[in-house]
Amino acid sequence: MNKVMDFDKYKEINDQRLNYREMEDATVVSYYRNTGCGDGYRIYLKMDESQTVVDASYTTTGCGFGIVALAIACEVAKGLTIDEIKNLTTEDLEKSFEFPERRKNYPQSAIEALHKAIKDHETGQGVPPEKRITKAFALATLAERGDLVGVNLSSVMLEKEDLSSVDFSGANLHNAFLQTSNFSSANFSGANLRGAFLNGSNLENANFRGADLRWAKLTGAKIDGADFTDAIYDIGTRVDPKNIAIFDVMKKEGKDVYLQKEESAI
C-alpha cells in the first residue's frame, strides 16, 4: 500500500523554492529537457579542488513535483563527490520525500538531470561561462539601451518580470525561461524563440511576426491581439486548444502535428 504523500513538506519546498536560483559562480551549468512533459531543467553545481559539490541549485519550468524532485536532488548532491553523485538513485531522493506512484517519473528525471550535469562537467559540454546569460545581464542591458534588439539572451531566465512594450526584435531567446512574465505589446519580430518557455505569460498585442517558435511552449499564455503572421512552428510548439487558430497564419517546419482530419485520412 502506498503511503500518503507528505503534503506539508511538498508545500513547504514549493513555497520556499528550496535551492531554486541561478548561480553565477557555478563550476558547471547543465541543461536538461524532460522529453516526457517538455519541461526544461537547469542544474548548477559548484565544486572545490577535490571535486566535491559545495553548492547546488536549479531552475525549471516544471510543476510542483518537478520542483520538489530537483530541490531534493540538489540538497542531496551537496557534500558529495562526483563518483558519489554518479551512484545516486531515485531511492536516495525518496528517502526525503516519497512521491506518489503516478509521479515517480519526477525523481527519475531529477536524477538524470544531475547525472547529465556531472557528465557535462567531465566532458566540458556544459554551458561555458562566456555564454551564461543571466537575468541581471538582460535587465542591465535593457536599462542601458532601452531595448534588447538583436541581443544574445540564449537560455536567459526572465520569470515574473514586467517587460511590456520591450523591443526584442531579432534577439536570440533560444531555450529562454520567460514564463509568467508580462510581455504585452512587446516586439518579438524575427526573434529566435526556439525551445523558449512562454507558458503563463501575458502576450497580449505582442508582435511575433517571423519569429521562430519551434518547440516553444505557450500553454496558459494570454495571446489576445498578438500577431503570429509568418512565425515558424513545428510539432513541438505547444498552445492551448482554444488558440490553435494561430497556426493558420504561421509557417510550419517539420512534421505537422496539427493536421486537418481530412488530410490525415488515408
* Per-residue pLDDT reduced to its tens digit, 74-88: 999 999 999 999 999
Asked if pLDDT for residue 233 goes beyond 70, the answer is: yes
pTM: 0.74
Sign of the four-CA dihedral 116, 118, 123, 125: positive
> Can you give the pLDDT at residue 200?
93
Return the residue matching grid coordinates 524532485: 69
Alpha helices, H only, 124-242: 135-145
| Arithmetic mean of pLDDT, 123-139 | 88
Domains of the chain: residue spans and CATH: 7-123 (3.90.1010.10), 133-266 (2.160.20.80)
Q: Output the CA–CA distances (angstroms, integers) from residue 118 to 4, 43, 78, in the order listed.
A: 33, 10, 13
The residue among 124, 123, 168 whose CA lies nearest residue 145 is 168
| Arithmetic mean of pLDDT, 215-243 | 95
